[in-house]
Amino acid sequence: MQHYDFAQKFRAIYDKAVALYGKGQRGADSFFTSEERAFLSANGITPQHMYDYAEDHNNYGGEPGYDLALGIELVRRDYFLNVQGGKPSSTVLDEAKLPAKTDAVREIAWLPRLLPKAKAKLRGELPASLMYCCGGDRKFFKAHDINPPEFLSVVWRNENNDAAIIDWVVRADARRKNQEAADKSQEKTMQPA
């Protein structure tokens, strides 16, 4: 497996998936050649991951987009190759055991649900019915001004310490609020008297 050109090959597969979905083709298993599937598998990525990106790209104005998909899959790939030794997990997250979408921790809704999803993405344990960086996740990330690949990296660094991840999110949200307040203050000082 070549590593240097991973991003180029990933881009070609991403663009192909987006185009096929846009033309009406459906089903993750119908999108990729055996060579493309082998490339994805060797990098800890499933055809379903790519299908999910293509589906959302076509249905949600280009979101999450190639850049976020690449960032997310680079973190997943790194974990797959260097922690899992290139061996996929045999575990699959039980979606029925996820916290409710309305659950909150430290007054931050969605985070209790996102934590196990992010860990499952990192480990390659998401069921086909779930996507990391889905519409609900993106709403959370935008509301708290968090970059999805960065969050996945934080989850990796604190894989067994949910409290540290939650603290990180609280700090990120505080930075966002402080920046919004500073921006509003600056707007007021720039208005003519």
Which positions ≥6 away from 69 have C-beta within 8 Å? 10, 14, 53, 133
**Measured between alpha carbons, how far is residue 188 from residues 179, 184, 192 in Å?**
14, 6, 9
pLDDT at 153: 98
pLDDT tens digits, 81-119: 999 999 999 999 999 999 999 999 999 999 999 999 999
| Burial class of residue 170 in the structure, from the number of CB atoms within 10 Å of its CB (0-12 exposed, 13-18 middle, 19+ buried) | middle
Average pLDDT over residues 154-171: 97
pLDDT of 139 higher than 90: yes
Which positions ≥6 away from 177 have C-beta within 8 Å? none
What is the pLDDT of the chain when averaged over all its residues?
94
pLDDT of 188 higher than 90: no
Cross-strand bridge partners of residue 109: 104
Neighbour count for residue 56 (Cβ, 10 Å)? 22
Secondary structure in 3-state letters for 112-165: HHHHHHHHHHHHCCCCCCCCCCCHHHHHHHHHCCCCHHHHHHHHHHCCCCHHHH
pLDDT tens digits, 65-77: 999 999 999 999 9
Percent of the chain whose predicted confidence (pLDDT) is above 70: 95
